[in-house]
Amino acid sequence: MAVTDICEVIAAVLHPHLAPAAAGVHPLATMPTSGDSADDAATATPDSADDGMPDAYTTIHAAQRAEWTRIVGELRAVREWGEDPLLTALDAARRRRDQIDEDIRLLITLGREYITPRPYDYATLARVSGLTQYLVRRAYSTDDIDCIRHVTGLTPRSADLQAPIAT
């Protein structure tokens, strides 16, 4: 059965591993059978849905059903508030991407400015981060160095190099 509710379609696209078969997505074996709907899956008791299944499977199955229901419910609430659920999901994905970009930038800063006695080389950081060496060299600023200093209390390696030598 194909689903026409945009909220279920968005949830299926973003979380195919949680999508019940009723959403038209071929789910993992841990999802409800094609006769179950997302709402039926959320209200079914673990015993009725998974007769004869091990307790761990039942627990995981119930958690996946609950997560699917939560995600679809949030998207439906967005729609009820008069917002577009697709644009809202796209905006949320962009914010997650921006957070990941910031995490990568701060980790590069840590690897270059705070690891002693030698920083990670540009080639290694570029390979692991998926960036070019040029982008790794330009990835962070003094604001990022100050952020790590503030959060960790560590002193950047460059400050150690610039400190006057006591005589």
Note the pLDDT of residue 53: 63
For the segment 132-150, the average pLDDT, to the nearest whole number, is: 95
pLDDT confidence band for 157 (50 / 70 / 90): confident
Percent of the chain surpassing pLDDT 70:
72
For the segment 133-158, the average pLDDT, to the nearest whole number, is: 93
Residue 29 has pLDDT above 60, yes or no: no
- Higher-confidence residue of 1 and 97: namely 97
pTM over 0.85, yes/no: no
pLDDT confidence band for 108 (50 / 70 / 90): very high
Residue 65 has pLDDT above 70, yes or no: yes
For 166, residues 6+ apart whose C-beta sits below 8 A from its C-beta are: none
Residue type, 157: R
For 144, residues 6+ apart whose C-beta sits below 8 A from its C-beta are: 105, 106, 109
Tokens of 113: 């400015």
Other CB atoms within 10 A of residue 58 CB: 18
Tokens of 65: 């059903």
Q: Alpha helix (H) ranges present in the chain?
A: 6-14, 38-43, 46-49, 55-80, 85-113, 122-129, 133-137, 142-152, 157-162
Q: How far apart are CA 122 and CA 116, in angstroms?
A: 15
3-state SS class at 115 = coil
Residue 33 has pLDDT above 80, yes or no: no
Residue 91 has pLDDT above 90, yes or no: yes
Q: How far apart are CA 108 and CA 141, in angstroms?
A: 11
Mean pLDDT of the chain: 80
Residue 136 has pLDDT above 90, yes or no: yes
